[in-house]
Copies of this chain bind each other. A is one copy, B any other.
Amino acid sequence: MSQPTDANARDFETMAIVGVGLIGGSIGRAVKARGLARVVLGVGRNASRLEAARRAGLIDEPLTDLSAAARRATVIVFCTPVDRIVAGVREAAAAAPAGVLLTDAGSVKAAICCELANGLPRGVEFVGAHPLAGSEKQGFEHADGELFQNRLCVVTPHATNSRKAIERIAEFWKRLGSKVVEMSPEVHDRALAETSHLPHLAAAALAGTLSAGNRELAASGFRDTTRIASGDADLWTAIFLENRTEVLASLSRFNALLTRFREALEKNDAGALHEWLKAAKISRDSLV
């Protein structure tokens, strides 16, 4: 990891992280390890949790007052549940100095980015982002400064973003070790419904189908397939609601495939079952 130049370091001089959980805590650790900011403010509602995160070395200064943090910040990264990002950004933007850059790490982008494309104070920009990294685990105790290394981060600008702001956010994630791709919030949400939200739904439905009496017989295949179902129910309720249309569309395609399988099995149609399974295997094997 190359050391930042002075110019780069100044870019992210005072960074506020709002929501110091797994993702926020990992960003804090990574930023501090790489010297990307002079000071990292941690913002949250629970002062004792924030103080513990400070003691763990994830942030420099705990603050429960978002506006107070915003007044001092150069860059503010929102790592709260997706249903709290818009209100948080509006509150921070009202207090922040001109030139502040706001971004997030939410798993859903269209609802947030469209809402924040307009109405922010002059000189304050929000650029959405979504690092494809995480875990079914919760809390800063699981924070990992290498969480974003070699992962993909999707930056989802809207029409009113300046190229300069987009580039600064892309640069930030690259400095955390991620590969950055840019796409519209809508394209992101359609893709993530398929690659993340539907898999969560299927994993949860499998876990929900498991009878208590059969737990002992759940081996590694079941465990891997359902691991993400341990994700936080609050976080995921918000994600599903915010990406409702695309999740429902993905679920329809998934159901259509299940129906084709069921019909083939009901008819004892070995050829059709084989073809169905082979197509799925080819798709899965294409992920190297």
A-side residues, CB < 8 A to B, are 132-134, 151-152, 154, 181, 191-192, 194-196, 198-234, 236-237, 240-241, 244, 247-248, 250-251, 253-255, 257-258, 261-262, 265-266, 268, 270, 273-274, 276-281, 283-287
Contacts and interface: CB of A to CB of B under 8 A. Distances in A.
B265 A215 contact: no
A246 B229 CA distance: 24
A233 B132 CA distance: 30
Interface secondary structure of A, over-half rule: helix
A23 to B, nearest CB: 13
Contact of A151 (B151, B219, B276, B286): B219
B152 A231 contact: no
A34 to B, nearest CB: 22
Closest 7 A/B residue pairs (Cβ):
A204-B280, A207-B284, A233-B277, A132-B219, A229-B284, A233-B278, A208-B280
Given A191-B213, A204-B277, A224-B225, 18 more contacts: A151-B219, A191-B211, A195-B210, A199-B221, A200-B221, A201-B258, A202-B203, A202-B206, A207-B284, A218-B287, A225-B225, A225-B228, A230-B285, A237-B273, A241-B265, A241-B273, A248-B262, A251-B261
B219 A196 contact: yes
Contact of A207 (B224, B270, B281): B281
B221 A228 contact: yes
Nearest to A257: B205
A239 B251 CA distance: 26
B217 A191 contact: yes
Nearest to A285: B230
27 contacts: A132-B219, A133-B220, A151-B219, A181-B216, A191-B213, A195-B219, A195-B222, A196-B217, A204-B261, A205-B280, A207-B281, A207-B284, A210-B283, A221-B227, A222-B287, A224-B227, A224-B228, A225-B225, A229-B281, A232-B281, A233-B281, A240-B265, A241-B268, A241-B270, A247-B265, A248-B262, A251-B261
